[in-house]
Copies of this chain bind each other. A is one copy, B any other.
Amino acid sequence: MKSRGMPTIGQRNRLQYIILGLLNQHPQTGYDLAKAFENEIGEFWQAQHSQIYPMLKRLEAAGEISHEDTVTGEKLAKKQYTLTSAGREKLVAWVSQPSPELTPSKDEFILKLYFIKTASDPRIQPMLREQYQLHQSQLHHLQQRQETVFPNQKAIDQAYGHYLILDHAIERESHYVEWLAQYLEK
């Protein structure tokens, strides 16, 4: 009793919506999308090109995006994908839908701590220090990106969504670092 006229793409598949959202910002190639998952989006969703290219085909087959072939230089072929009106509708519907589930998250390090039973175990402090360094350097990286990408209020207003996402990532890392510091012995 699964399909009642539903499309082949599973309704829980969020990658498709994220791709639609990215293409709505401006037409892009699969390669560009893959870059976005490494950069601005990467803090909150990940996808490799091997997942992206097939999804672009599915979305195009479903009539939600279309592409135009362009050539760079002598013969390097690119496919610029654009949203169709059907795709835009689907995107709007997704954004408007409530998101009532807490996203499950995974943290291997925290679990390792969990399995160490006593507060005095000598392994704890080195582990905390390692994670502190890791998250501290990630925090620095994010902060530097914020400084270069959003040097003034105008830049923020022009890419508010991007600003929000980066701000959230910075806050999250910053708080993680503080939590670690709390259990670190000086």
Contacts and interface: CB of A to CB of B under 8 A. Distances in A.
B102 A138 contact: yes
Contacts of A25: 115, 117
Given A113-B164, A161-B116, A172-B175, A106 B103 contact: yes
Interface residues of A, number: 57
- What is the interface of chain A mostly: helix, strand, loop, or mixed? helix
A109 to B, nearest CB: 5
Contacts of A175: 171-172, 175
Given A44-B106, A104-B46, A130-B100, A114 B162 contact: yes
A112 B98 CA distance: 10
Interface in A108-125: 108-119, 123
Given A99-B131, A134-B102, A44 B111 contact: yes
Interface string A46-81: 100000000000000000000000000000000000
A21 interface: yes
Contacts of A31: none
A105 interface: yes
Interface string A116-149: 1111000100010011001100100000000000
Contact of A123 (B45, B91, B95): B95
Nearest to A116: B161
B171 A44 contact: no
Nearest to A109: B99
8 contacts: A25-B117, A40-B114, A45-B107, A95-B116, A102-B135, A105-B105, A114-B162, A171-B175
Given A95-B115, A171-B175, A171-B179, 18 more contacts: A44-B106, A46-B106, A91-B115, A95-B116, A95-B123, A96-B123, A99-B108, A99-B112, A100-B134, A102-B135, A102-B138, A103-B105, A105-B105, A105-B106, A110-B164, A111-B165, A113-B161, A175-B175
